[in-house]
Amino acid sequence: MKANICNTLHTPLLKKNKKPSYVIFVTFGFIVFLMSMLAFIITNQTQNPLEKLERQELARGVAQGVSAKSNSYDFHKVSYNWTDAMFSWQRTAFHFQPQNNWMNDPSGPLFHMGWYHLFYQYNPDSAIWGNITWGHAVSKDMIHWFYLPIAMKPDKWFDINGVWTGSATLLPNGEIIMLYTGDTNNYVQVQNLAYPANLSDPLLLDWVKYINNPVIEPPPGIGLKNFRDPTTAWIGPDKKWRVLIGSKKGKISISLVYKTINFTYFELNDNYLHAVPRTGMWECVDFYPISINRSNGLDTSVNGPEVKHVLKASLDDTKVDCYAIGTYFIENDTWVPDNPNEDVGIGLLLDYGRYYASKTFYDQVKKRRILYGWINETDIASDDLKKGWASLQTIPRTVLFDKKTRSNLVLWPIEEIESLRISSDEYEGVVITPGSVVPLNITQASQLDIFAEFEIESFTSEGNISNDNIDCGKGTLERSSFGPFGIIAIADDTLSEQTPIYFTLSNTSLGFSTTFFCVDETRSSKASEVEKPVYGSKVPVFSDEKLSMRVLVDHSIIESFAQGGRRVISSRVYPTEAIYGATRLFIFNNATNINIKVSIKIWHLNSAFIGPFPFDQS
Ligand SMILES: *[C@@H]1O[C@H](CO)[C@@H](O)[C@H](O)[C@H]1NC(C)=O
Ligand SMILES: *[C@@H]1O[C@H](CO)[C@@H](O)[C@H](O)[C@H]1NC(C)=O
Ligand SMILES: *[C@@H]1O[C@H](CO)[C@@H](O)[C@H](O)[C@H]1NC(C)=O
Ligand SMILES: *[C@@H]1O[C@H](CO)[C@@H](O)[C@H](O)[C@H]1NC(C)=O
Ligand SMILES: *[C@@H]1O[C@H](CO)[C@@H](O)[C@H](O)[C@H]1NC(C)=O
Ligand SMILES: *[C@@H]1O[C@H](CO)[C@@H](O)[C@H](O)[C@H]1NC(C)=O
Ligand SMILES: *[C@@H]1O[C@H](CO)[C@@H](O)[C@H](O)[C@H]1NC(C)=O
Ligand SMILES: *[C@@H]1O[C@H](CO)[C@@H](O)[C@H](O)[C@H]1NC(C)=O
Ligand SMILES: *[C@@H]1O[C@H](CO)[C@@H](O)[C@H](O)[C@H]1NC(C)=O
Ligand SMILES: *[C@@H]1O[C@H](CO)[C@@H](O)[C@H](O)[C@H]1NC(C)=O
Ligand SMILES: *[C@@H]1O[C@H](CO)[C@@H](O)[C@H](O)[C@H]1NC(C)=O
């Protein structure tokens, strides 16, 4: 899917080998189109946002050079007749989201004087992208949150069109450095420095923008709109800090390394940290060490023989977060992937569902690396305006090296989420036969933490053994000998709406060599305008392991983790009937040749407190 309108306009023409004059004509036409769009936007300033949106054809954000923040085709779609009750049900109970309006990337997460701080890309004016500020919230446990006043607004020439994504660096002397991208008065992407006005304030309410900003401007040869999202800095033996910024040069995706001693003056390395052909603009790069022999996270500057480094990029073209594990050479600031065939952008994803612009930080209290990620709405933006809010952050996930596969990360919801567990139901060794769906007799199935294990209980002869090379396919309607089987969340009694989360296996002479982990959203809602894909991936399974999944259900979001977090899929679902008291949970087996034994434990989760900071009581 191409969200970038420049690509959709130009690519077909170039492929057809049109004469240069034609290309110039089309380019001219495109400029006229852009100018008329601009004129249109200017003359329509007084309209309400909903009217504007319905007539808008450019995806939001694209003109300013960031990734599309809406689907440009939305305006063709007809909205379901949603009721206020349906919209209210969609709001989550324990995922972080602002009180109202639009949110995107997590920015500058850090821990300071007893509080976890989360900043986030936030539009204070509307539930669609624009006028981006830094929203701010604090938490003691990353589950219950207090909203704080906006930390930074677009009020200087170097960020007047947006205070965009950035990262925090905690210096050994206790100072906090915040580097962020500003969209300037000329729509140039520059990197700016900010720092807390008062380090003794645990809430870090006031931020100072360095007077001589920007501290980094796009270097020669780099597009003025292809240069954003600085990482947390790390320090080398030469006492110089390094910061990474993603970009692209021609068809090559790149990550640029800058060195500094004081965060005001930066020098660009000649070498890129890493480059990969044809994966588009790299946004929100993240770079950090992981221990290959321990079970704790590492601070960003740690290196050594038992350490590997993760490089992550968010791909502007395809809206996925890709990573690879490799080796970092600090002597020349280069990184090489362990497996070049699974390099950044062509290999693993942090999350195989709807997930983007993630960022990690090192939690010095519990010695762990924590991952936040932005999950957008997959309904249409005009409905987000009616709801008055858009987007969530995932439950923070711990990040560890997978010591069994030695080739991927394991991501797992932070343990603090377990404090919301109120009661549980357990089903031990339930055998489900081919083609069956079994209701789990629980009430209140909109806020759950589920852990389920699956074993092949026996083989049946109902159907012919098919050795098809199956994958997630078209969803659970596609039956094969050894799958699909799993759970069905956010369903109504009659399964007229349902979201199966499942495994499906394929047999080869080597046994069950391939396991897929999938989520099928195709029947998640009766509304036709919402996106309802089938998501999934192959997942490694060892012979001494059962198939297992952890699933967090929170109204319109389902986060699913397979095999201890080797693969993760985040889904957004917008049911019309499977809501409130009508929401049910099932287990199912749609394989033709195996009986499945399921053991499942289901915790009901309380809502988290997420509200304004009680300034008057403190
Ligand atoms: C959310 O992201 C998906 C994928 O980029 C996109 O198709 C969809 O339009 C987005 N939704 C909104 C409301 O921006
Ligand atoms: C919404 O409701 C109106 C009036 O009841 C009806 O005419 C229309 O077809 C409905 N639209 C959809 C998408 O269901
Ligand atoms: C941005 O702010 C201006 C001025 O307050 C407002 O008119 C406009 O609607 C806002 N844009 C968005 C997308 O919220
Ligand atoms: C800094 O914050 C601390 C703690 O909130 C407060 O006591 C102190 O007065 C603040 N200093 C200034 C200069 O505002
Ligand atoms: C930062 O360091 C550079 C040299 O590395 C120096 O020229 C500059 O004056 C320093 N800036 C500040 C504000 O100290
Ligand atoms: C991990 O490796 C380092 C360096 O070889 C060693 O010092 C440390 O003891 C090892 N830790 C464990 C838990 O094996
Ligand atoms: C960087 O250093 C490593 C280790 O010394 C070396 O293998 C690699 O070739 C160097 N890379 C570049 C681009 O110089
Ligand atoms: C739930 O109740 C139904 C109807 O009583 C029963 O058929 C089903 O087996 C029960 N589910 C489980 C997992 O016990
Ligand atoms: C099994 O295969 C045979 C021969 O191809 C076919 O006649 C039969 O219908 C198949 N049975 C099932 C259940 O698919
Ligand atoms: C199993 O497959 C059949 C045939 O495609 C389909 O009708 C049924 O809905 C599927 N069951 C589930 C739980 O998806
Ligand atoms: C898997 O396939 C092989 C032949 O490729 C067959 O011998 C074996 O019985 C199959 N295993 C199962 C569990 O069906």
What band does 61 get if pLDDT is binned at 50, 70 and 90? confident
Q: What is the dihedral of CA 520, 558, 513, 600, to 10 degrees?
A: -110
CA-nearest residue for atom 4, ligand 1, is: 319
CA-nearest residue for atom 4, ligand 2, is: 81
Does the Cβ of 80 fall within 6 Å of ligand 2?
Answer: yes
Span of 140-144, 457-461, 499-503, 608-612 with lowest mean pLDDT: 457-461
Nearest atom in ligand 2 to the alpha carbon of residue 79 is 13
Does the Cβ of 264 fall within 6 Å of ligand 5?
Answer: yes
Short-list 278, 353, 275, 274, CA closest to 320: 353
What band does 589 get if pLDDT is binned at 50, 70 and 90? very high
Extract the tokens encoding 439: 């209701």
The helix (H) or strand (E) run that includes residue 250 is: none
Distances (CA, A) of 471 to 286, 482, 502, 517, 534: 30, 11, 11, 9, 11
CA of 518 to the centre of ligand 10 (A): 15
CA-nearest residue for atom 8, ligand 11, is: 509
Does the Cβ of 45 fall within 6 Å of ligand 8?
Answer: no
The helix (H) or strand (E) run that includes residue 311 is: strand 307-315
Span of 27-36, 377-386, 505-514 with lowest mean pLDDT: 27-36
Structure confidence at residue 470 (pLDDT)? 73
Map tokens 């952050």 to a residue.
393
Q: What is the pLDDT of residues 76-108, one digit of tens each?
A: 788 999 999 999 999 999 999 999 999 999 999
> Measured between alpha carbons, how far is 147 from 37 in angstroms, rounded to an integer?
36
> Measured between alpha carbons, how far is 608 from 592 in angstroms, rounded to an integer?
42
Q: What is the pLDDT of residues 166-181, one digit of tens each?
A: 999 999 999 999 999 9
Residue 23 has phi, psi (to 5 degrees) of: -65, -40
Does the Cβ of 265 fall within 6 Å of ligand 5?
Answer: yes
Does the Cβ of 265 fall within 6 Å of ligand 7?
Answer: no
* Predicted structure pTM score: 0.90
Structure confidence at residue 617 (pLDDT)? 78
Is the pLDDT score of 5 beyond 50?
Answer: no
Span of 11-15, 171-175, 257-261 with lowest mean pLDDT: 11-15
Q: Is 331 left (phi over 0), alpha (psi -120 to 50) or beta?
A: alpha
Q: Which of 455, 461, 507, 509 to mutate to test the pocket of ligand 11 (most atoms within 8 A of CB)?
A: 507
Tell me the average pLDDT across 262-291.
98
> Measured between alpha carbons, how far is 146 from 136 in angstroms, rounded to an integer?
9
In three-state secondary structure terms, 41 is helix
Structure confidence at residue 24 (pLDDT)? 41
Q: Which of 76, 81, 382, 529 to mutate to test the pocket of ligand 2 (most atoms within 8 A of CB)?
A: 81
Span of 38-47, 52-61, 210-219, 418-427 with lowest mean pLDDT: 38-47
Short-list 126, 583, 119, CA closest to 390: 126
Round the CA-based radius of gyration of the chain to a whole number and report it. 24
Higher pLDDT, 25 or 390: 390
Of the listed ligands, the closest to the CA of 464 is: 9
Distances (CA, A) of 279 to 276, 283, 345, 348: 7, 11, 6, 13
CA of 260 to the centre of ligand 5 (A): 9
- Evaluated on CA atoms 127, 133, 134, 137, the torsion sign reads negative
Nearest atom in ligand 6 to the alpha carbon of residue 304 is 4
Does the Cβ of 332 fall within 6 Å of ligand 7?
Answer: yes
CA of 73 to the centre of ligand 2 (A): 20
Of the listed ligands, the closest to the CA of 508 is: 11
Is the pLDDT score of 2 beyond 60?
Answer: no
CA of 201 to the centre of ligand 4 (A): 6
The distance between the two most distant Cα atoms of the chain, rounded to a whole number of Å, is 75
Residue 350 makes CB contacts below 8 A (sequence gap 6+) with 312, 321, 322, 323, 358, 371, 373, 409, 411, 568
CA-nearest residue for atom 5, ligand 11, is: 509
Of the listed ligands, the closest to the CA of 83 is: 2
Residue 65 makes CB contacts below 8 A (sequence gap 6+) with 183, 187, 189, 223, 224, 225, 226
Is the pLDDT score of 328 beyond 60?
Answer: yes
Taking a C-beta distance cutoff of 8 angstroms, is the pair 355, 394 a contact? yes
- Evaluated on CA atoms 418, 424, 425, 426, the torsion sign reads positive
Structure confidence at residue 48 (pLDDT)? 54
CA of 381 to the centre of ligand 2 (A): 19
Higher pLDDT, 205 or 29: 205
CA of 199 to the centre of ligand 5 (A): 22
> Measured between alpha carbons, how far is 64 from 248 in angstroms, rounded to an integer?
16
CA atoms within 13 A on the CB side of 172: 7
Structure confidence at residue 227 (pLDDT)? 98
Is the pLDDT score of 618 beyond 50?
Answer: yes
Higher pLDDT, 26 or 524: 524
In three-state secondary structure terms, 532 is coil
Is the pLDDT score of 327 beyond 90?
Answer: yes
Active-site residue set: 105
